[in-house]
């Protein structure tokens, strides 16, 4: 099954930037300048954005960002993911999750906003100050040298 997508250039957006399109009526998808099949969803900027990869049979969401720390856990992330669901109502949407983002994605899966979480193993995020992902790091020993 190939994904049949209605990618429609929105008139005014096309005039300013030919790479911005709407998908199934959800506007704000920007073609990634370098990556094939990759779109940046800016429909919720400046609060949040994310990337999606449109594959033959599925859509992957990645790089979900809610920019202002005060805006996190306020539902902005879920609103954005529900936009993506609206844009791809019949498509299998999946994510890879870090340990700290897994509870969010499990909630999204329960609500039907995504279809699956690809990784079931522990995957610490790149932010070494994230205590959810990095609580078991040997930070203690490193810190103790300076105590």
CB of 33 to Zn ion, least distance (A): 28
**CA pair distance 54, 42, nearest whole angstrom:** 16
Task: Identify which of residues 45 and 125 has a Cβ nearer to Zn ion in the complex.
Answer: 125
Q: What values do phi and psi take at 97, rounded to 5?
A: -125, 140
Region near Zn ion per CB under 5 A, out of 10-18, 94-102, 103-111, 113-121: 94-102
Q: What is the smallest separation between the CB atom of 38 and Zn ion, expressed in angstroms?
A: 23
Using CB under 5 A as the criterion, what x/- string covers residues 107-146 for binding Zn ion? Answer: ------------------x----x-xx-------------
66 lies in the binding site for Zn ion (CB under 5 A) = no
Residue among 100, 107, 109, 115 that touches Zn ion (CB under 5 A): 100
Residues in contact with Zn ion by CB under 5 A are: 98, 100, 125, 130, 132-133
């Amino acid at each position: 099954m190939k994904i049949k997508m209605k990618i429609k250039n929105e008139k005014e957006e096309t005039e300013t930037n030919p790479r911005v399109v709407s998908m199934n009526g959800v506007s704000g998808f920007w073609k990634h300048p370098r990556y094939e099949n990759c779109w940046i969803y800016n429909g919720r900027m400046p609060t949040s954005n994310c990337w999606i990869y449109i594959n033959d049979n599925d859509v992957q969401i990645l790089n979900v960002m809610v920019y202002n720390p005060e805006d996190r856990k306020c539902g902005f992330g879920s609103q954005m993911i529900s936009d993506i669901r609206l844009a791809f109502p019949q498509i299998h949407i999946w994510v890879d999750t870090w340990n700290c983002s897994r509870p969010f994605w499990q909630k999204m899966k329960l609500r039907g906003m995504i279809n699956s979480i690809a990784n079931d193993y522990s995957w610490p995020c790149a932010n070494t100050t994230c205590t959810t992902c990095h609580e078991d790091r040997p930070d203690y020993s490193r810190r103790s040298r300076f105590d």
